[in-house]
Structure 1
């Protein structure tokens, strides 16, 4: 529906960018639906991990639908802006860990979707880039800030200011991808990782993600305070008691949360 499909397998949910005929370019309707889906997933306590994948063979996502934008007035472009911000913010702010499964082109907003994830799995066909400056724009869905935090100032500048494309090997070297897999295997690998994450304590995983996200860029002591808060959240939850009991009884935990 409107270019986004939701799949559920146990505690793992897959959000699929599903507009392959347009290389999963993000239209206004698709962005609106993605924000709705992310809100639904975020509120579902039964979802422990998320995979962000894409339909078709050629592209993960090539960014905003420039054919749609070509006919827009300035007023219409500004009206689209909060819809896009809600879509990208929906992915970025999911409380569950997100694993992006990238194949083919991940350009502009597609690259920003990947950067919004916690882990990026890329297959051999993956091509990353933030080419906005080449069409008179600035990455505006988290690209400058997420690249800065993930890659560091120099590599972020290289990516953003040149607008060039990175194949999977250079993306790995840059830190723009975390794992490389054979062509066609990104989704399966991402689902496998998400499955491992989903076996862990939901309380602890969400608290750890908050500490990682909120601690990025803060001073050491502030980061340690965030870690302390995350530790307390997990340590005084029923999950901690179940986890320790299961360890001592040599069984898999049955998480109460």
Structure 2
């Protein structure tokens, strides 16, 4: 197990949060999420930072999403506690006072996509892949994805992507507005830094106030939607499809879901 799930550094007034679980493609294990939460808590009071970039660090991926191998060892109560903590952590990223940028390489799937969605904007390498793939594993996006994705791509396109569990390339994601910038492979972090440097040239005070003003738009609707998402997510925990999804992952096969026994 790595010593730390997150490595943090600063480059002048720009913060860099590097996910650090490279052997698992930065899967959101409990230790990584705990370190991420601790880092984000410190960032809340970082009055000197003009922007923060979230990266995949040494991994070839930005974030592969849930650590399904670890998930197999967790009880239902432990899963609910873990996902609740993940939701809270991503919500706190979304509410950080300074602009945040996700530098996406390799893949950003499931919870990895939700982490990127929690940032203010996203830079993605052309050949990377992004998507909310949860329904293919018998669950649903449970860390804000059902609410934040429609804000970027529209309700219809968000439904299509979530219901099909489709994975998009950087070019496809850019074309529909899921990411704001695309770049050559290996250049996501550099591109994000250039954007952060442009932000840093402006008044830190004004930028933070502008972010607060933009984020205030329809905040009540977002909070209501996130609660509905959580209520729906919890209904997946006790359903046999979740266990079938985990079993299929372990056995490296396609899931066989109980679609003839649907009960909501």
TM-score, shorter chain, exceeding 0.5: yes
Residue in 2 that maps onto 1:160: 162
Cross-structure match for 1:66: 68
| Cα drift, residue 217 of structure 1 | 7.4
Count, aligned residues? 219
Alignment of 1:101-112 (within 5 A): 101-112=103-114
2:98 paired with 1:96: yes
> How much does 1:218 deviate?
8.4
CA RMSD of aligned residues (A): 1.6
Structure 1, unpaired ranges of 5+:
220-257
Return the offset for 1:90: 2.5
- Correspondence for 1:248: none
CA distance, structure 2, for counterparts of residue 137 and residue 2 of structure 1: 28
Q: Match for residue 139 of structure 1?
A: 141
Distance (whole Å) between structure 1 residues aligned to residue 66 and residue 205 of structure 2: 35
1:87 to 89, 100, 105: 89
Q: For the residues of structure 2 that align with 1:15 and 1:86, how far apart are their CA atoms?
A: 18
Post-superposition CA distance 1:152-194 (Å, at most 9, x none): 1111111111101101111011111111111100000101111
> Is residue 77 of structure 2 the alignment partner of residue 75 of structure 1?
yes
Contact 2:26 2:59 in 1 (8 A): no
Alignment check: 8 A CA contact 1:149 1:216 kept? no
TM-score normalised over the length of structure 1? 0.81
- 8 A contact 1:120–1:177 mirrored in 2: yes
User: For residue 23 of structure 1, what is the aligned residue in structure 2?
Assistant: 25
CA distance in 2, matches of 1:147, 1:212: 17
Gaps of at least 5 residues in structure 2 are 222-264
Match of 1:211 among 210, 213, 234: 213
Deviations 1:198-220 (A, max 9, x none): 1211111011111111225789x
Q: TM-score, normalised by structure 2?
A: 0.79
Larger Rg: 1
Give the one of 166, 175, 178 matched to 2:177. 175
Alignment partners' CA distance in 1, 2:77 and 2:118: 27
**Which consecutive aligned stretches of 4+ in structure 1 deviate over 3 angstroms post-superposition?**
216-219
